[in-house]
Chain A
Amino acid sequence: MKDTLALVQKFNAHPDSRCWYVAWNPNGMLLASCGGDRAIRIWGREGDSWECKTVLQDGHQRTVRKVAWSPCGNYLASASFDATTCIWKKKNDDFECLTVLEGHENEVKCVAWAPSGNLLATCSRDKSVWIWEVDEEDEYECVSVVNAHTQDVKHVVWHPTQELLASCSYDNNVCVYKEEDDDWECRATLEGHTSTVWGLSFDPSGQRLASCSDDRTVKIWKECNTGEGAYAGWKCVCTLSGFHGRTVYDVAWCPLTGALATACGDDGVRVFKEDETADPDQPIFFLSAHVPKAHAQDVNCIAWHPKEAGLLVSCSDNGEIALWNYQSENI
């Protein structure tokens, strides 16, 4: 059976503006989207289709660039170009703005919750990455500000199991951060891309990191252990080039199946599968499925469903969200 990527549903989420990001909540029952219309929309399943349950309109004064659910699913964080990050608390079907995190000098580009639920990371065009700690009383405090990048930081992502953070930037690099003596520091700088790195995704085990870039490639990085106690760093073990016609804006590694999905500026959505027979230190990925005109404009984000294998969501500059079903013989 040939691998397929079939459209399940497509709908307009953010009228007359870009849909910048989509995120599944931890149990997969809700989908949050955000866009250039400054709104956050929460979508829920109604039978076979997804309907808008809530619209959070007045949280931000400018574009909402990314949204992230807390690991418990009760909180939603939104990062906006108005330089603030808003923390929303879920109360039944509605959300209330709990607090607004300020401090970045300009546009906040990303927000991400650590798997422990106690830490939050934000990054901005002001080239810094901020790490915040939240206590039992829902009080947020900034624990570190790190200036490891020399340009606009586009994305931050936490390791699935360890307290490790990765960020990527317009300066073409990926930085990895660890906590040292109560302060977060950049422990490794991954150089290799020849243009802006837009997105990052850890594999289910956290041993590998995928990065996607404006240089039209996706790179797979692996942590190398010298076994001597010193932090050895990461090296690039695979580069997927020649598959994407334009900038690759997002990459998502499926936590259930290990498939790798990408969102591209050529309006296409692609899914890559790993060759099981390859050497783990020199992985090989092949293009498993490709929808060339998945959207009418640039695809900004792509995300795998956390519980349902093969369910994929993407969103685009024309404000649309699309749901896909990926079928592969091995799943």
Chain B
Amino acid sequence: MSRESDDLFDCIVMADDRFHVEGYREGFNEGTRQGMIDGRKHGASHGAKLSMEVSFYYGFGITWKCLLQNNATLIKQSLLGLIQKFPHKDPQFENLQEDMEKVRAKFRQVCSLLNVPTDFSDYVKSGGSGGMSF
């Protein structure tokens, strides 16, 4: 009997707390769901940018390799090195940044060796411009 009355009062007294907990749980789940969607979009766009850059270098490398079939071995070696550094289909997160930097650096060096002007501003990110410099 006393247990029943306890339960009755329990419902009323703990109502606030219960709704609080329920509300939190619902909100958390909603947020997780939304976060997943946003995160996925973000990852997709980031991944797309990165692969766009890598595939650009890949295409560049292969094209020049074909064009230089007959010529200088040293340049071909650098190009082959460039292409070999590419198989980053799997995002091995740890070294990704470092390897990307190495690939970018190799690309710049190859452009310099081939005397190709590097105005690929549509495809490759470049630093800021203009204004003061020290």
**Chain A residues in the interface with B (C-beta under 8 A):** 63, 81, 102-103, 105-107, 125-128, 130, 141-147
Contacts and interface: CB of A to CB of B under 8 A. Distances in A.
A126 B108 CA distance: 11
B111 interface: yes
B106 A105 contact: no
B105 A146 contact: yes
B127 A145 contact: no
B126 A105 contact: yes
Interface SS of chain A: loop
B133 A142 contact: no
B127 A125 contact: yes
A147 B104 contact: yes
Contacts of A141: 112-113
Interface residues of B, number: 16
B55 interface: no
Given A126-B127, A128-B105, A147-B101, A103 B133 contact: no
Contacts of B117: 102
A63 B134 CA distance: 10
B29 interface: no
B111 A107 contact: no
A145 B133 contact: no
A105 B113 contact: no
Interface in B91-131: 101-102, 104-106, 108-109, 111-113, 117-118, 126-127, 129
A147 B118 CA distance: 17
Contacts of B106: 145
A54 B118 CA distance: 34
